[in-house]
Amino acid sequence: MKALKFLHAADLHLDSPFKGMNSVPERIRDVIRESTFGALSRLVRLAVREKVDFAVFSGDIYDAGDRSLRAQLRFRSALAELDRAGIPALVIHGNHDPLDGRGADLEWPAGAYVYPADKVETVRIVKEDRGLIAEVHGISYASAAVTENLALRFRGGDASVFQVALLHTNVDGNPGYDNYAPCSKSDLVGRGIDYWALGHIHTREIVMDEKPSVVYPGNIQGRSIRECGPRGCYIVAVDENGSPALDFHALDGVRWQQESLSIAGIGTEQELQESLQDLLARLREKAEGRPTVARIFLEGRGPLHLKLQAGSTLSDLLRELRESELLALAGRSAAGYGKGGTGAGAEYAEAPHPADDNKEEGTRGSYTTAPSGGVFRSAAAEVPFVWIESIEARTGQDIDFELLLREESFIGDLLRLAEELSADEGKLREFAEEALGSLLAQNGASRLFGGADGLLEDTGDWLEAARELAVDQLMPDGRRAK
């Protein structure tokens, strides 16, 4: 085989509306809503800098079938830039942007190819200096809900050149995603494909790392607190033996994060505020210069627990931290922080030292914090802010649970029951189904939680919360209620 290099991206969700942002200040909301476009711009610059032979996009380019004109124009511009650099772009559509959705009448660049939905088609990648280097097969979704196992339609071509397959699918029924175009890992073996370039699952995963390679790159930009950590694409370098080496490159312009803070040893509200401010500083550093949206969980046991459960302590803390961040943001912007930005949304400024030696567990190779080792800057907000999406208290009173578990009393019986249910998933589910029976019977409530399975998904967390609530009610201030 001939050596080659290509870019694998999926789930761009361009112009995602980022629901639930109406209460966020406008200057921060604008940065978040522009972030998918910023990630696309960085993807193009990465592809050009890496001199890839071609780029593949494995579905859900847009966020909805009724795709916005703005998103289509931005994607067309991106593909045109790739075309000018001699990089073909091969595209399939998925469940969010099926071919029966409404699209604008646009003329696409000569180097771009969108696969049809009626059959698997093949594009041959030919280079003047190397001839035929790869065959790329793909199929799009005709409509949003595809239940056929499309993997069974694929067959590799010329075994002397590298074979790539583009498929938007749910392998082995990942429960967190709709089961569209479902297939199993065994369906992907023995079909003459060397690399399955998958889309649909937003968390990147190397499903199989031997022949064939089966890879989800994840989405290029996190869109909610459920999509934390680096988001981006893979650069795949294939050697003469047909072995692919994967390097992950972070493209996200806004980093979503979840962090925990223990209240153990924190005695006053002021100490808690100071600890939260220290945590925000760590989050800012962890995001490597990107703006951050964070959810904070207060955990552990301590004297502040009851104060956090009653009154407005938690909401006041959240409001104060947000206002403090906005004031700091305004001050740093007025001082000229980040001047020299190159456009709306999240961009980056060049840095003298590349960061692509920064390894992340679970990937082969390295990932970079920016396409050229740069430090991300927010051109709209002019500073990498940390916006707290929410603070949740999962704390408890500082009491001796082991002593209570041995106590012959009502609360002792209650805690022993909780321990028994926590240790037996089957009993816990049976108990929850009985306790939530009336709620499960209501179609509206059941749909709200994604059906019965969705409603029962977090029973472990609910059990722990119920245990703590019972202790608070029966033992206010650590004393048994009369």
pLDDT by residue (tens digit) across 365-415? 332 333 333 334 444 434 689 999 999 999 998 887 788 888 888 888 888
Helix axes 425-435, 459-474, angle to 10 degrees: 70
- Residue 313's H or E segment, with its range, is helix 313-334
DSSP at 17: -
Q: How far apart are CA 260 and CA 391, in angstroms?
A: 10
Q: Are residues 349 and 259 in the same domain?
A: no
Q: Are residues 267 and 300 in the same domain?
A: yes
Q: Which residues does residue 197 pair with via DSSP β-bridges, in sequence order?
A: 166, 215
DSSP of 340-391: T--SSSEEEE--SS--TT---TTSSS---SSTTS-EEEETTTSS--EEEEEE
Would you say residue 294 has pLDDT above 90? yes
Q: What percent of the chain has pLDDT over 90?
A: 62
pLDDT in tens, 175-210: 888 899 999 999 999 999 999 999 999 999 999 998
Would you call the peptide bond into 212 cis, given omega within 30 degrees of 0 as the criterion?
yes
More confident residue, 356 or 298: 298
Q: How far apart are CA 437 and CA 440, in angstroms?
A: 5
- In sequence order, the 6+-apart residues with CB closer than 8 A to the CB of 158 are 132, 135
Q: How far apart are CA 351 and CA 347, in angstroms?
A: 13
- Residue 392's H or E segment, with its range, is strand 386-396
More confident residue, 65 or 467: 467
Range(s) of the domain holding residue 412:
400-478
More confident residue, 5 or 372: 5
Question: What is residue 407's three-state secondary structure?
Answer: coil
Count of structural domains within the chain = 3
Q: Are residues 133 and 220 in the same domain?
A: yes
More confident residue, 453 or 476: 476
- Residue 124's H or E segment, with its range, is strand 121-127
Q: Calculate ∠ Cα 62-66-68, nearest 5°.
A: 60
Backbone angles phi, psi at 52, to 5 degrees: -70, 155
Q: Are residues 9 and 154 in the same domain?
A: yes
Residues 263-280, mean pLDDT to the nearest whole number = 95
DSSP of 65-78: SS--HHHHHHHHHH
Backbone angles phi, psi at 299, to 5 degrees: -130, 180
Q: Domain with 140 in it: what CATH number?
A: 3.60.21.10
pLDDT in tens, 67-76: 899 999 999 9
Q: Are residues 353 and 444 in the same domain?
A: no
Residue type, 193: I
Confidence band for 20, pLDDT divided at 50, 70 and 90:
confident
- In sequence order, the 6+-apart residues with CB closer than 8 A to the CB of 140 are 59, 92, 93, 94, 98, 99, 114, 115, 116, 117, 168
Q: Are residues 288 and 413 in the same domain?
A: no
Give the β-pairing of 232-238 and 131-138. Answer: unpaired
Length of the chain: 482
Token pair 């799009």 in the structure block, residue: 140
Q: Are residues 22 and 136 in the same domain?
A: yes
Q: Are residues 95 and 70 in the same domain?
A: yes
pLDDT in tens, 402-432: 888 888 888 888 888 888 888 888 888 888 7
Give the β-pairing of 346-349 and 375-378. Answer: antiparallel
Looking from the CA of 207 toward its CB, the CA atoms found within 13 Å total 27
Confidence band for 308, pLDDT divided at 50, 70 and 90:
very high
Q: Are residues 310 and 372 in the same domain?
A: no
Q: Are residues 88 and 113 in the same domain?
A: yes
Q: Are residues 227 and 328 in the same domain?
A: no
Backbone angles phi, psi at 297, to 5 degrees: -110, 120
Residue type, 368: T
Q: How far apart are CA 168 and CA 243, in angstroms?
A: 23
Token pair 């969980």 in the structure block, residue: 297
Q: Which two tokens mark 287?
A: 């995001």
| The pLDDT of residue 412 | 84
More confident residue, 342 or 62: 62
Q: Which two tokens mark 385?
A: 């802010």
| The pLDDT of residue 354 | 30
Q: Are residues 325 and 366 in the same domain?
A: no
